[in-house]
Chains A and B, each alone.
Chain A
Amino acid sequence: MTSLTVSETATRVDLTAAAALPAARLERVCVRYRVPREPVSGLKEFAVRWAHRRLAHVDFWALRDVDLEIGRGEIFGVVGRNGAGKTTLLRVLARVLHPTSGRVQVFGRAAPLLELGGGFHPELTGRENVYLYASLLGLERRDTQRRFSSMVEFAELADFIDSPLRIYSTGMIARLGFAVATSRPSEVLLIDEALTVGDERFQHKCLARMDEYRRLGCTIVFVTHALSTARQICDRAAWLEAGTVRRVGPATEVIDAYARWQPTTTEEKA
């Protein structure tokens, strides 16, 4: 697809029109983890407890009645304390978790960049890992072949691409991960704290790519603790607290409110 096809569904740059349409919608979404009161990992233990009707669970609601609409072409920040449900929100959008109740809709391909390095195998070469990771993201082999050189170039790893991954540094793996995950502009890109890895120069490169994608009309959902970065790049934001949406709106407003509410939080530098 090197030429621009004009079709009903193809959206480009026009931000104002695009933002009116949803990229993703959550309606009364609940996610419940059932944690056994005491860990039962044995079959025998399970049988014994089941017989005694002592299979007690603790329900942990990671998300409770979350209603959100994320627009097309916006960078949507998600802030909140640890355990507030930010990562669970991304997982629900990425189809990793099926909501316990409620409805999740995503109106395009969602590419998760939840934790860099996932899916990489230490004994395989960088090249082999690129293909593996790309297929994990749902890319077809031909697509990966076509984009391969641009991925390697972006990650600045041309000299190491045929060495086994175990000799890579953490930063190199992170760079390769970001390069593969963002090689194809997906309609919705899900990023969880990814920018805290890698040196400053590479972080700038990542931010620049996110900006480029915004201009193409992609939606980026961005979970972060780096409030100053979030202020800089996000259009809108949601503040999660204990699995519920505490506030949602223009990024600066929401992030300021969150920062005021939690003055002890030291703002990390971007």
Chain B
Amino acid sequence: MESVDLMWGREVYDSARQPPPLADEFLSLLRYRDLVAQWIARSVKTRYKRSLLGVAWTMVNPLLTMAVLTVVFSRLFRTPVRDYPLYVLSGLLLWNFVAQSTTAAMGELVWSGGLLGRAFVPKAVFAVSAVGTGLVNLILALIPYAVISLLLGVEITSAWLLLPLPILIAAAFALGLGLLVSTAAVYFADVMPTYDVLLMAWLYLTPVIYSMELLPPGVRTLLQINPMVHLIGAFRSVIYEGQPPEGGTLLMAGFTALGMLALGWWTFTRKARDFAYRL
């Protein structure tokens, strides 16, 4: 047995002297960053654990969806969009990232109830890991996207270097929304199925499979209130159009993302102490 020091008084827990929840959750999260990393690794590994292709599914999955949508929309409906496969795939990647990580944030928190009752875990671990897992999947899926770009003869420009920017903005948005919906899901069991339906409606209100140019101008203006329009716009301009995003789009995307993150963080941390009593 190695020699050990017990360090009494080095780490003191005092329920009466906790930092305000907003900061407390953040500090605990920093201390448990290894848990976040482990949790992301767990999610990436277990998702396709017993399947033949394993993690490769992360890349194959959006490709198959892209193939189906391309056949339907460019052959049957004759969408006048340049390089439609790339158009739809770029939109789909970012959409999936936001939709899947927010859904996962909710599910992980609610289904981890047993865990929260056993050991101290910073509650935001689940949302942060869900977004982290989503990021890993998104980055993996960019590889086949680049390959298809090359196959279709679309140049990969230096604008790709700006890619972290729209991705980080989308991650902030997803984290904020994930925290918000998971707080609600702790209290009301029907938030989860409702969110599924809302996501579907939201997808159709977002130019993922169609392009904004096909819409009447009035509708186009109205859709500007949908934050996903700006998030996808910024992402697409980099990897689909090969140009730096417009200042206006970037500003709108960044602004809504930060707003959502602040709202989600505030709501979540205010209620986090109560979760162990509820789950």
- Chain A positions within 8 Å of B, measured between CB atoms, are 1-5, 7, 9-12, 21, 23, 33-34, 41-44, 46, 72, 91-92, 94-99, 102-110, 112, 114-115, 118-119, 121, 123-124, 128, 131-132, 135-141, 184-185, 187, 212, 216-218
A-B pairs with the 3 shortest C-beta distances? A95-B120, A135-B35, A118-B118
Report B-chain residues with C-beta under 8 Å of the C-beta of A136.
35, 115, 119, 121
Q: Told that A10-B5, A187-B11 touch, could you supply 15 new A-B pairs with CB distance under 8 A? A: A43-B190, A43-B194, A91-B117, A94-B120, A96-B276, A106-B13, A107-B9, A110-B13, A115-B118, A118-B119, A123-B46, A123-B50, A135-B38, A184-B4, A187-B7
Looking across the interface, which residue of chain A has its beta carbon closest to that of B45? A124
Given contacts A97-B276, A135-B32, A138-B32, contact A108 B38 (CB under 8 A): no
Quick check: B14 and A218 within 8 Å, CB to CB? no
What residues of A have a CB within 8 angstroms of the CB of B37 in the complex?
135, 141
Which residue of B9, B38, B119, B273 is within 8 Å of A94 (Cβ)? B119
A106 to B12, CA, bound (A): 6
Find out whether the CB atom of A128 lies under 8 angstroms from the CB atom of B5.
Answer: no
Interface size class of B (residues with CB under 8 A): 35 or more
Q: Tell me, yes or no, whether B77 is within 8 Å of chain A by CB.
A: no
Asked if B10 and A96 make an inter-chain contact with CB atoms under 8 angstroms apart, the answer reads no
Cβ-neighbour of A96 out of B2, B6, B7, B120 (below 8 A): B120
- A96 contacts B38, C-beta separation under 8 Å: no
CB pair B34 A141 closer than 8 Å: yes
Once the chains bind, are A105 and B14 in contact (CB under 8 Å)?
yes
Question: Which of A44, A121, A138 has its CB near the most chain B CB atoms (within 10 A)?
Answer: A138
Asked if B191 contacts A43 (CB within 8 A), the reply is: yes
Contact between A42 and B38 (Cβ–Cβ < 8 Å)?
Answer: no
Instruction: Tell me how far the C-beta of B193 lies from the nearest C-beta in chain A, rounded to whole angstroms.
Output: 11
Task: Collect the chain A residues with CB atoms within 8 Å of residue B15's CB.
Answer: 92, 98-99, 102-105
Given contacts A41-B190, A43-B194, A135-B35, contact A108 B6 (CB under 8 A): yes
Does B31 make an interface contact (CB < 8 A)? yes
Asked if B189 and A104 sit within 8 Å, CB to CB, the answer is no
Question: Complex Cα distance A248/B8, Å?
Answer: 24
Given known A-B contacts A42-B190, A105-B13, A107-B12, A10 and B46 have beta carbons under 8 A apart: no
Closest chain B residue to A34, Cβ basis: B277
Across-interface contacts of B116 in A (CB, < 8 A): 96
Once the chains bind, are B3 and A4 in contact (CB under 8 Å)? yes
29 A-B residue pairs with CB within 8 Å: A2-B3, A4-B5, A7-B5, A9-B7, A10-B5, A11-B8, A12-B5, A33-B277, A41-B189, A41-B190, A42-B190, A43-B188, A43-B194, A94-B118, A94-B119, A94-B120, A96-B119, A98-B15, A99-B15, A103-B15, A108-B7, A108-B8, A108-B12, A119-B118, A123-B45, A124-B42, A124-B46, A138-B32, A185-B6
What is the bound-complex CA distance between A3 and B4, given in angstroms? 7
The minimal Cβ–Cβ distance linking A144 to chain B, given in whole angstroms, is 8
CB distance from B129 to the nearest CB of A (A): 11
How far is the CB of B279 from the nearest CB of chain A, in Å?
11
**A42 CB contacts on chain B under 8 angstroms:** 188-190
Task: Write the nearest CB–CB distance from B277 to chain A, whole angstroms.
Answer: 6
Q: A199 to nearest B CB, angstroms?
A: 23
Known contacts A2-B2, A105-B12; A138 and B188 CB within 8 A of each other = no
Name which residue of chain B comes closest to A144, CB basis: B34
Cβ of B270 within 8 Å of any chain A Cβ, yes or no, is no
| Chain B residues closer than 8 Å to A106, beta-carbon distance | 12-13
Also in contact, A98 and B273, with CB within 8 A (given A41-B190, A103-B16)? yes
Report chain B residues within 8 Å CB of A5: 5
Knowing A103-B16, A131-B38, A132-B42 are in contact, say whether A119-B7 is a contact too (CB < 8 A): no
Contact among A33, A44, A119, A138 for B115, CB-based, below 8 A: A119
Q: List which B1-51 residues lie within 8 A (CB) of chain A.
A: 1-16, 18, 31-32, 34-35, 37-39, 41-42, 45-46, 49-50
